[in-house]
Amino acid sequence: MTPHTIWCATSKGVGIVAVAFLATGPPASAQWLDPDRCVTCPDKVQHFAAGVALDLLARGPWVAKPFRNHAWKRVALTATVAASWEMLEALDARREGKAGRPGYGFGPLDLAITIAGAATVEALQTLAQKLTKRRGQRAH
């Protein structure tokens, strides 16, 4: 057998074993994901407010200047903190056996709404800067 033939046979065998394990286990959503899809629920307002707060906190002197000197970096920092939080929630839900129920597990919607809160702060700041720049130009 040539090395290529051995590699193909091995990779097919590994693929078959992986499919067998995946087919017999519970779906990933039941293991990790929060199936909550309610956009108007109070917890979504809390996630949006957390995104606003995290973005504002990312501007402080406790964050190194290279990580806070651009809007996209502050939003990325917020996203990292929010994703870490969601992962901790998923681990906790899994440990308690509640994963896969609404409100428990990694919430992709929660993460997106937290990031939207941070992006809203950045958009409002950019808009305010443009408006104040125009007023300054008209006064002269």
pLDDT tens, per residue, the chain with 140 residues: 555 554 454 556 555 655 554 555 556 556 788 888 999 999 999 999 999 999 999 999 999 999 999 999 999 999 999 999 999 999 999 999 998 888 888 999 999 999 999 999 999 999 999 999 877 676 65
What's the pTM? 0.74
* Domain ranges, ordered by start, for the chain: 1-27, 32-139
Strands (E) across the chain are located at: none
Are 122 and 76 in contact by the 8 Å Cβ rule? The answer is no
Structure-derived torsion over alpha carbons of residues 127, 133, 135, 138, reported in degrees to the nearest 10: -140
Tokens encoding 56? 């504002």
Pair 78, 115: CB distance under 8 Å: yes
